[in-house]
Each structure stands twice: as structure tokens, then as C-alpha cells.
Amino acid sequence: MNKKFEYECEIAKRFLDVVGISYVDLADPLETFKKETGADVHARLSSGKKIGIQVTVFHSDEDSAKNGSEACRGQEEKDKKLGIIQTYGVPTDYRPALRKRIGEKISKAQNYSFSEFDEVWLVVAASLPQVGAMASTTMLSLFIDADELNNDHHEALSHSKYSAAFLYIFNEGKIFQWQPLTKWQLAKDDHLKLSPVNEVNAIERWRQCLRDPEFRKNSRTWARREALKVLHEFRSGK
């Protein structure tokens, strides 16, 4: 099996399972149609619909590096090969990178007719639990706002060839869904719910982090300091 398809098919499978859409099978469009179709996965749904799924992976610093997201992703991949485990600072503002990722996919979709499918969906996967990609693909749902998603992407998606778009926060089981009439909204949240008090405390802790001058100056140094503090407490039995 093609490794690229195997990887994208696994993301598509997890996505469909989480969102609760039943399917008969998932196939490689290149094998099925013997040509490029603009979709990565061909899903035959139990309803009979043929859905083309374009899978793409979010990288948090994609818009900040000259050649994509080499800055964080490249360091993670290098550390993986060397067997190095460390902390990484990642941007909390997901919007520039997501605008680039979705914009590129909308642009590339113009090169295909999508006539092989009843619908084609765009699935943007983030926060993948994968060694060498956990930091660079991080997107914190705490900072995701449906209104911001609509401001950034609704108009462009409305004029695109995609029937639907999804933002899949893999490690939280959260899915934001876009459709032309309903726009962006939270469609699925399988993450463990916090009690109202703990949720407020968690948000306040994040606000304190964002107000920390060291965090704002160099989030990577701050993350390393906090990680070493936790490690020290763990070793000392606190």
C-alpha cells in the first residue's frame, strides 16, 4: 500500500469514526480511477454517496517560515532521528498558518473537476500524536473561535469546489465543520469535559502564561523552563 495514502487514509478513517459517519470502504482514488482526482481518499458511505476527501495537515508555524513549516517541523524530525526528547515552543495564534493551508488547498482544487465524486470534503488535521510532528502540528482548541474561522475562511470556501470543510483536532476529538449554509461551527467534542470551576481555572492559567513576559519573548525557553521544573518536582517526589 502507498505510504502516503496509508497515512491519509488513517486520518480520514479516524475522522469519520469520530464524527459518526458510517462508510462501506475507503480506497485510493489513484488506484480506483487511474488518475489524479484532487482527493486523497475515496469514501463510499453507507448512504451510497461517493465522497472524495482531501486530507491536509496543519503546521503551526507554516506562515512564519520562508519555505513552509521547516522551523519547528524540521527540528522535530531531526530530534526524532537523534533520539532526542525535548520541549518546543509553538505559536498560539493558529490563524495565519490555517489561512495559508486552506488557501493553498482551495487554489489547487481549481485544477480538478471532482466529477468522480458526489461531494469532496476538505479535512484539516491538527495536533497529531505522532513522534516528530506533535509540536509542529499543535493547535490548541482553547484559542479556536467559530467567528474567527468564518471571518477568515467562509467567503473563500463558499467560492471553492469543496462541499464541506472540517478542522479535526486529533488529540482532543474535536471537529469544527463548515458548510455553505451553516458556516463554521463545533460539530463534535469528545474531549473530557472539565467542571465549570476547573474550566475557569484552566483558562485563567493560560491567561497567566500569555501575560508572562518570558513566554511572550521566547515561548520555547519558557516551555523548557517549565518542563524542567515539573521534571525536578517529579524526581524529588513533590
Residue ranges per structural domain of the chain: 3-191, 193-238
> Is this model's pTM higher than 0.85 or not?
no
By the 8 A CB rule, do 94 and 145 touch? Answer: no
d(CA 2, CA 107): 25
DSSP code at position 150: I
Q: Which runs of consecutive H residues, i.e. helices, occur in the chain?
A: 3-19, 29-33, 70-82, 95-109, 146-149, 155-158, 196-211, 213-217, 219-236
Question: Burial letters for 87-111: b for 16+ Cβ neighbours within 10 Å, e otherwise?
Answer: bbbbbbebbebbebbbeebbeebee
Q: Walk along the chain (238 residues) and give the pLDDT tens digit of each residue.
A: 688 999 999 999 999 999 899 999 999 999 999 999 999 999 999 999 999 999 999 988 776 544 444 455 555 555 555 565 555 566 678 899 999 999 999 999 999 999 999 999 999 999 887 665 567 788 888 889 899 999 999 999 999 999 999 999 988 889 999 999 999 999 877 654 444 444 445 555 666 666 677 766 666 676 667 666 765 665 665 5
